[in-house]
Structure 1
Amino acid sequence: MAETQAPARERILQAVLHVIGTDGIAAVTNRRIAAQAGVSLGSITYHFPSQTDMLREALLGFVSDETTRLTELAESYRDTGLSVADAASLTEQVVRDLGWSAERLAPFELYIQAGRDPSLQDAADECFAAYDTLTVTILEALGVADARVVAPTLVATVAGLQLRRVATGIPQDVSAAILRLLGGS
Structure 2
Amino acid sequence: MAKPPGTRQSIIDAVLRIIAEDGIAGVTNRRIAKEAKVSLGSVTYHFATQHEMLRESLLHFVAEETRRLTELADQCRTDETDGTDADRAAAVVGQVAGGAPFGSRHIAPFELYIQAGRDERLRTAADQSFAAYDQLAARILTGLGVPDAERLASSAVALIFGLQLRSLATGRPAEELVDALMLLARGAQRA
> With structure 2 as the length reference, what TM-score do the two structures score?
0.89
Show the counterpart of 1:150. 152
Show the counterpart of 1:17. 16
Matched-pair contact (CA < 8 Å) for 2:18–2:27? yes
In structure 2, what is the Cα distance between the partners aligned to 1:4 and 1:115? Answer: 35
Aligned pair partner of 1:174 in 174, 177, 185: 177
- 1:108-158 superposed Cα distances (whole Å, 9 cap, x missing partner): 111111111111111111111110111111112222221111000000000
Comparing 96-105 and 10-19, the one that deviates more: 96-105
- Note the residue ranges of structure 1 that are not aligned, 5 or more in a row: none
The alpha-carbon distance between structure 1 residues 98 and 10, as it changes in their structure 2 partners (threshold 3 A), is: farther
In structure 2, what is the Cα distance between the partners aligned to 1:36 and 1:115? Answer: 27
Q: Which runs of 4+ in 1 moved over 6 A?
A: none
Show the counterpart of 2:54. 55
Aligned pair partner of 1:115 in 114, 117, 120: 117
Shift of 1:67: 0.6
- 1:39-95 superposed Cα distances (whole Å, 9 cap, x missing partner): 111111111111011001001101111111110111012014212343233212321
Bigger RCO of structures 1 and 2 (CA < 8 A, at least 6 apart): 1
CA RMSD of aligned residues (A): 1.8
Comparing 41-50 and 101-110, the one that deviates more: 101-110
Q: How does 1:1-185 map to 2 (within 5 A)?
A: 4-79=3-78, 80-97=82-99, 100-172=102-174, 173-183=176-186
In structure 2, what is the Cα distance between the partners aligned to 1:44 and 1:106? Answer: 19
* AA partner of residue 185 (structure 2): L
Matched-pair contact (CA < 8 Å) for 2:12–2:57? yes
Percent same amino acid among aligned pairs? 52
The alpha-carbon distance between structure 1 residues 76 and 4, as it changes in their structure 2 partners (threshold 3 A), is: closer
- 1:163-185 superposed Cα distances (whole Å, 9 cap, x missing partner): 0000001112111101211127x
Q: How many residue pairs are counted as aligned between the two chains?
A: 183
Comparing 125-134 and 73-82, the one that deviates more: 73-82
